[in-house]
Every structure is written in structure tokens, then in C-alpha cells.
């Protein structure tokens, strides 16, 4: 067998082996994303108060995970995915803060005497009709409202630990902080939520 | 990663956390079909990213070794069957050894002798006074 023919044969063999591994990785990734996507959407929605924005953030996180970290171990996907998602949420809040400042500046320029509370007049950010709002669990609404009042890091720690079920180590990886910080954030979040929601909520 | 053996701040033991999780799970389960369809589309887009990565990677993995071997073979064959170039400029030696140059070479000796003789013999007209 000539050198060229043997080289081609080796590359064909590598295709078969690589193809099977790739297919398995895609199946695992599909399974993982299908399992995490709904909880991730609700977590993002609580943070940004808009379902469409939350959908965009979750989709972006999925694409980034697939693009950059599909080759990592399956055990790493959960903290990596939420790390990407939380970064997206934080960027979203920064953009909103800048946009709101600009909007307020223009608003004051036109009618300085009329300080209209734009946020109060805005429709429900979740896009829910009044009927839909009634249908939602009152408990979930109270919890969402209480979560939004928390500092961002406490909210992140609580949702990742409680809603997603990550342990301290996984939460630290997702938040990009130490395990001690996670415990502190979580502890404060739980106490704040209990105080806000009251005994009757439990 | 989902080990909940951490005793210091375990969310699985706290009644408040248990209730919060239950309420949250209920809200997750009640997501409407339109939203779930959107999530599914997003997931397919993400999986397509993996596909496009593997296609470009597979292209090089599959064809690079064969292309390299083919290139080496072509270069080797081109050296093997290379013909001598007939239109190369003639060297000075060839010019000198061409048959038609011999006469000039013989005359060249004569011209050299003339040149030497002219340099050594005094000029008979050098001291003519024309005044």
C-alpha cells in the first residue's frame, strides 16, 4: 500500500471514530439543554421581568455553551451554562440602566414640570393579561416580587441553590465567586425573603 | 455538582426553601406551549452550532492528510520528469568554442601585437616644428 493510500485510509478511520463521538456529544447536549431550559427561562424571567427578553437570554446562553464548551465534561455544563446566563442577565441590566438614564434625561428636557413615573405606567413586563395574572400562583408572584427586591448576588445565589439545585461548589462556579461568598449570599437571601414574605407564606 | 450534602447552608432541609422550590416548579410546569416551542427552537439553533463546528473540523480532519500526501506526490513527480531546458542562454565558454569564432581568435593575436607595438615605438611625428 503506498504512503498516500495508507494516509487516506487512516483519515477515513478517524472520521468514523470522530463521527460517533460527535453524535453522542450532540445527544448529550440536547438532553441537557432540554432538561435545563425551562428552569433557566423562569430564573432569567424573574431577573429581567420580561419573558421575551428572558427567551433571548436563554437562547444566547445555549448557543454560547454549544459553541465554546460542548467539548467540556457533562458535569461542567450546568455551572457553565448558568455562568453564561447570569453574565447575560447582568449585561442586560447594565444596558437597561443606561437606556433608562437616557430616557429620563430626554423626558426632563421636554417637560421638567411633569415628573411622570414611566415605570408605573408601563404595562406588565411579563406581557401577561389580567386574567393570566390571576391564574398565576399568588405565592409565586409574592416570591418573585420579594426576589426582585434582593441584591443581585443574593438573588442569584438563592435561585441557583434552591431552584436549580446546585450545591455550593457548583453555585460558586456559576457565579464566579468563592464558596464562602455563596454561603453568605444565600444565608442573607433566605433571611430577607422570610422577613419580606412573612410566616403566612410558608 | 448537584450534591446537597453541604450541611452549613443546605437548601434541601430548610422548609422555606422547600416551599419556594415547589412553587417555582409549579410555575415551570405551567409554561405555555408557545413558550416551550420558542425554547425548542433556541435549542435547535444551539445544536446547529455544534454541527457547523464539526463540519468544518471534519473537513480538515478528513482531507488534510490526503491533500498533503497528494501535494507531496505531485512535487515528487514534477522533479522526476523534469526535462532539460533547451532555451537556456549559452555560456561564455560555448560562445568562445563556437567554430565561427576561431578566425577572430587568430586575428585577435594580431590585434594584440599591434596594440603592444603601438605603445612601445616612438611617434615619428611627435617632434615636428611647424612654426
B88: left (phi over 0), alpha (psi -120 to 50) or beta: beta
DSSP state of A150: S
How many other CB atoms are there within 10 angstroms of residue A118's CB atom? 11
Q: What is the Cα–Cα distance from B9 to A187, expressed in whole angstroms?
A: 7
Confidence of residue B113 (pLDDT cuts 50, 70, 90): confident
Are B31 and A41 contacting, i.e. CB atoms less than 8 angstroms apart? yes
Are A167 and B3 contacting, i.e. CB atoms less than 8 angstroms apart? yes
Q: Does the model's pTM come out above 0.80?
A: no
Query: What cell numbers appear for A94 in the block?
Result: 447594565
Its ipTM equals 0.76
Could you say which of B1, B28, B69 has the minimum Cβ distance to residue A169?
Answer: B1
Phi and psi at residue B81, to the nearest 5°: -100, 20
Q: Do A161 and B11 touch (CB under 8 A)?
A: yes
Q: How near does any CA of chain B get to the CA of A108, in Å?
A: 38
CA angle A91, A92, A94 (to 5 degrees): 65
CA distances from A162 to A133, A142, A169, A187, B8 (A): 24, 16, 14, 12, 14
pLDDT tens string B22-55: 999 999 999 999 999 999 999 999 999 887 766 6
Could you say which of A66, A173, A183 has the minimum Cβ distance to residue B8?
Answer: A183
Query: How high is the pLDDT of residue A163?
Result: 97
**Residue of B49, B58, B77 best to disrupt the A interface, most CBs of A under 10 A:** B49
A3 touches chain B (CB under 8 A): yes
Query: How high is the pLDDT of residue A202?
Result: 61
Residues of A in contact with B26 (CB under 8 A): 137, 140
Are A34 and B43 contacting, i.e. CB atoms less than 8 angstroms apart? yes
Encode chain A (202 residues) as per-residue pLDDT tens digits.
555 555 555 555 544 445 777 888 889 999 999 999 999 999 999 999 999 999 999 999 999 999 999 999 999 999 999 999 999 999 999 998 888 887 777 765 444 444 554 544 445 455 555 555 554 578 899 999 999 999 999 999 999 999 999 999 999 999 999 999 999 999 999 999 999 998 777 6
Residues 13-72 of A with CB under 8 A from B: 14-15, 18-19, 22, 25-26, 29-30, 33-34, 37-39, 41-42, 51, 55, 58-59, 62-63, 65-67, 70
Query: What cell numbers appear for A57 in the block?
Result: 437570554
Amino acid at each position: 500500500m503506498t504512503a498516500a493510500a495508507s494516509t487516506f485510509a487512516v483519515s477515513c478511520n478517524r472520521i468514523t471514530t470522530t463521527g460517533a463521538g460527535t453524535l453522542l456529544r450532540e445527544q448529550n447536549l440536547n438532553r441537557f439543554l432540554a432538561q435545563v431550559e425551562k428552569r433557566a427561562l423562569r430564573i432569567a424571567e424573574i431577573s429581567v421581568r420580561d419573558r421575551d427578553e428572558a427567551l433571548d437570554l436563554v437562547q444566547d446562553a445555549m448557543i454560547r455553551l454549544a459553541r465554546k464548551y460542548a467539548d467540556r465534561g457533562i458535569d461542567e455544563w450546568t455551572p457553565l451554562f448558568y455562568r453564561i446566563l447570569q453574565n447575560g442577565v447582568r449585561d442586560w441590566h447594565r444596558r437597561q440602566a443606561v437606556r433608562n438614564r437616557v430616557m429620563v434625561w430626554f423626558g426632563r428636557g421636554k417637560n421638567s414640570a411633569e415628573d411622570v413615573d414611566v415605570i408605573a405606567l408601563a404595562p406588565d413586563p411579563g406581557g401577561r393579561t389580567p386574567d393570566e395574572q390571576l391564574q398565576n400562583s399568588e405565592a409565586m408572584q409574592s416570591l418573585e416580587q420579594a426576589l426582585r427586591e434582593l441584591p443581585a448576588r443574593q438573588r442569584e445565589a438563592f435561585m441557583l441553590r434552591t431552584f436549580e439545585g446546585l450545591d455550593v461548589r457548583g453555585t460558586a462556579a456559576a457565579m464566579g465567586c468563592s464558596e464562602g461568598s455563596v454561603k453568605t449570599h444565600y444565608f442573607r437571601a433566605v433571611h430577607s425573603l422570610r422577613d419580606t414574605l412573612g410566616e403566612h407564606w410558608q | 455538582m448537584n450534591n446537597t450534602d453541604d450541611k452549613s447552608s443546605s437548601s434541601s432541609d430548610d422548609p422555606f426553601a422547600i416551599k419556594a422550590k415547589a412553587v417555582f416548579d409549579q410555575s415551570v410546569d405551567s409554561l405555555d406551549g408557545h413558550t416551550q416551542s420558542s425554547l425548542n427552537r433556541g435549542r435547535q439553533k444551539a445544536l446547529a452550532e455544534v454541527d457547523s463546528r464539526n463540519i468544518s473540523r471534519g473537513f480538515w480532519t478528513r482531507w488534510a492528510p490526503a491533500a498533503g500526501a497528494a501535494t507531496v506526490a505531485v512535487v515528487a513527480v514534477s522533479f522526476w520528469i523534469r526535462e532539460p531546458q533547451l532555451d537556456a542562454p549559452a555560456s561564455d565558454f560555448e560562445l568562445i568554442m563556437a567554430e565561427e569564432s576561431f578566425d577572430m581568435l587568430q586575428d585577435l593575436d594580431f590585434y594584440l601585437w599591434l596594440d603592444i607595438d603601438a605603445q612601445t615605438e616612438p611617434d615619428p611625428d611627435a617632434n615636428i616644428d611647424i612654426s
